[in-house]
A and B are shown apart, each in its own frame.
Chain A
Amino acid sequence: MPGNEVLVEVKGLKKYFQAGRRRVVKAVDDVSFRIYRGETLGLVGESGCGKTTCGKAILGLLSLTEGEVVFDGMKVHRLEPSERKEFTKRAQIVYQDPYSSLNPRMTVKDIIGEGIDVHRLYRGKEQEERVCELLHTVGLNREHINRFPHEFSGGQRQRIGIARALAVEPDFVVCDEPMSALDVSIQAQITKLLLRLQREENLTYLFISHNLAMVKYVSDRVGVMYLGKLVELTTSEELYRNPLHPYTQALLSAIPVADPDEERSKERVVMKGEIPSAINPPAGCRFASRCRFVTQVCREDEPALSEVGREHLVACHLAK
């Protein structure tokens, strides 16, 4: 169960990419949040909002433009050589695309065993036993050990990706859209697997997805991102019951519900236009150009993420 111990602290995270001489993509622009030990923090947003960049930056897979990520006392982007190994053992990632994230020339045994080798956790026969055990944990079996990734279906490959992440017994796993390449019936299987592993291994997850229903289902708290900014952060129940940011409201109302009567009677919050480019984004609130409630102050002043209720943070001038 989530406690109050902070495992990951993200402070003023900025990641800009240079796109040509005077063009800067502000993929993540001043985002701060905490992840508590044992919880699942969801990050949602549409494509290009910076959620994956955020996840990769937290794991030190991207350098930062500004800001800091602290993982259990270690500064992720300024690790001592001795810390580096500890960090990579404790923080892992499951990627979105199970087709391109497994090396096609390695067998399952080598893919899962690589991390075990690097960290010298088990050797020889013991290592093989450990790989079999991991395969069993994720619902595959020992006959699969000498096969190559192409011999598996998408769902099975995602299980291999999960087994690889778990092989080094991490505390923290970033799940970057782990379901989006999978079919509905397989998504449910993987979701159940991730939740079971969290209970059994006491894992902390950062769960990144564009599927708000799925994020709500697996997460304790959810952060909503828009154009590189965190616009709302609260518990998943509160986010669904009482969304305060106009973007969150629009996002929630855009999701089609599998209920024909409700679907036909509900009123949609329609957003104007398309997402502006993250290259030189507008001043003021990033959402101002599409917001129904936009006022003059929104176009000039950028709203800060501030607490409006218990565990409810919103970056909007109107939500006070």
Chain B
Amino acid sequence: MRNGQMLNTKDLFVSFKTYAGIVQAVRGVSFELEKGETLALVGESGCGKTVTAKALMGLLPNEQVEIGGEVGFHGENLLEYGEDEMTKIRGKHISMIFQDPMTALNPTMRIGDQIAESIIIHEQKTHAEARAEALEMLELVKIANAKERMNQYPFEMSGGMRQRVMIALALACNPEILIADEPTTALDVTIQAEILELIMQLQRERDMGVILITHDMGVVASISERIHVMYAGKIVEEGSVREVFYGPKHPYTFALMKSVPELSSTKQEPLYSIVGTPPDLINPPQGCPFAPRCEFAMKICKLEPPAGVSCGETQRSYCWLHHPDADITGVPEVLQGRSEAHAR
């Protein structure tokens, strides 16, 4: 599956200046996206997954925001690009679809023109050519009566259809990378299944790299190859979907998976729940961000951030429990991925 890196981030930092203080939303996120793969960024609200995506796209405002680290794309650092240069990247090379298609589409523009707009800007086509391409895109995302729909406004469509329009809009210029930020959260499950199917199919046909941002482990399981679990602005565990789902090594990942009722479970098996709430990112915890809520936390966890430990072929977990000196009595066996690699 390894066939060339398309995008990487190195030690990405994003902080916002607010009246209350500096919010450190993203604190050292690194990952690589390969051609044709789907990488999932998973976490709860406020963990920094959307901010990461917006930083990649250069969509964060310049004022009151500080961004550090590196976003590598074709050998260049996108964070050094100015607004003009980013405009050429956005939509053409990297596209994004948003959670709420009603607010992301322009309510005053016919959808055909919205899709054609980006084709006119990026590919120097005439209006008529661009509209013809827009029509093709609508057919590609399986909108019935695409010809009539071209002249309609977003409010005339259902949520699922609007999300299809968003996908058509994002893919109009054949981007190499698609960032999907909670693409199905606003939709019903049956519509969600169709949209996920559509994203997967288009990805295969176009060999796109997809960064999927979601909080739904089920969605990750159905369409991603790799997963990065984020908590309080940091990546706490990463690996292939099979590694992480069948052998989570970080207590947060473990808890996250156990706290969702499974369809096959019964009430007799009590639901696992994480006590407390995520930390305040104005004063993030000094050690492991999950330590205050972790039932296996040790003294060291609150003092020093844990280093990444390789626990499998591609799996890494950032947890002190993997340290050879850690006391692991009472820790579930699945979490005990202790590795020689820690010494390195």
Binding site for B on A (CB under 8 A): 46-47, 153, 155-156, 183-189, 191-192, 195, 210, 212-214, 216-218, 237, 240, 250-264, 268, 270-271, 273-275
For the complex, is B151 an interface residue (Cβ under 8 Å from A)? no
Would you call A256 and B259 a contact (CB within 8 A)? Answer: no
Chain B residues whose C-beta falls within 8 Å of the C-beta of A240 in the assembled complex: 263-264
Would you call B273 and A185 a contact (CB within 8 A)? Answer: yes
In whole angstroms, how far apart are the Cα atoms of A47 and B186 in the complex? 10
Would you call A260 and B221 a contact (CB within 8 A)? Answer: yes
Report if A256-B191 is in contact (Cβ < 8 Å); known contacts: A185-B44, A185-B273. Answer: no
In whole angstroms, how far apart are the Cα atoms of A156 and B278 in the complex? 13
Which 4 pairs, one residue from A and one from B, show the smallest C-beta to C-beta distance? A256-B218, A217-B261, A188-B259, A188-B273
Chain A residues whose C-beta falls within 8 Å of the C-beta of B221 in the assembled complex: 256-260, 262-263
Binding site for A on B (CB under 8 A): 44-45, 144, 158, 160-161, 188-194, 196-197, 215-222, 241-242, 245-246, 255-257, 259-267, 270-275, 277
Chain B residues whose C-beta falls within 8 Å of the C-beta of A217 in the assembled complex: 261, 265, 267, 271
Beyond A258-B257, A260-B221, 13 extra complex contacts between A and B, CB < 8 Å: A184-B256, A185-B44, A185-B259, A185-B273, A188-B271, A188-B274, A217-B271, A254-B189, A255-B189, A258-B245, A259-B245, A270-B194, A275-B188
Q: Of A184, A212, A262, which one neighbours B215 at CB under 8 angstroms?
A: A184
Q: Of B197, B220, B266, B277, which one neighbours A155 at CB under 8 angstroms?
A: B277
CB distance from B87 to the nearest CB of A (A): 34
Chain A residues whose C-beta falls within 8 Å of the C-beta of B45 in the assembled complex: 183
Chain B residues whose C-beta falls within 8 Å of the C-beta of A46 in the assembled complex: 188-191
CB distance from A38 to the nearest CB of B (A): 14
Would you call B241 and A260 a contact (CB within 8 A)? Answer: yes
CB distance from A5 to the nearest CB of B (A): 21
Would you call A258 and B265 a contact (CB within 8 A)? Answer: no
Chain A residues whose C-beta falls within 8 Å of the C-beta of B263 in the assembled complex: 212-213, 216, 240, 252, 255, 257
Cross-chain pairs A/B with CB under 8 angstroms, 26 sampled = A47-B188, A183-B44, A184-B259, A185-B255, A185-B256, A185-B274, A186-B277, A188-B271, A189-B274, A191-B271, A212-B263, A217-B261, A217-B271, A254-B189, A256-B192, A256-B216, A256-B219, A256-B221, A257-B262, A259-B221, A260-B242, A263-B222, A268-B193, A271-B190, A273-B144, A274-B160
In whole angstroms, how far apart are the Cα atoms of A254 and B219 in the complex? 11
Chain A residues whose C-beta falls within 8 Å of the C-beta of B277 in the assembled complex: 153, 155-156, 186
Chain B residues whose C-beta falls within 8 Å of the C-beta of A260 in the assembled complex: 221-222, 241-242, 245-246
Would you call A210 and B189 a contact (CB within 8 A)? Answer: yes
Would you call B218 and A251 a contact (CB within 8 A)? Answer: no
In whole angstroms, how far apart are the Cα atoms of A254 and B187 in the complex? 12
Chain A residues whose C-beta falls within 8 Å of the C-beta of B267 in the assembled complex: 195, 217-218
Would you call B261 and A216 a contact (CB within 8 A)? Answer: yes
In whole angstroms, how far apart are the Cα atoms of A188 and B258 in the complex? 9
Give the nearest-CB partner of A189 in chain B.
B273
Which of A253, A254, A264, A270 counts the most chain B CB atoms within 10 A?
A: A254
Chain B residues whose C-beta falls within 8 Å of the C-beta of A210 in the assembled complex: 188-189
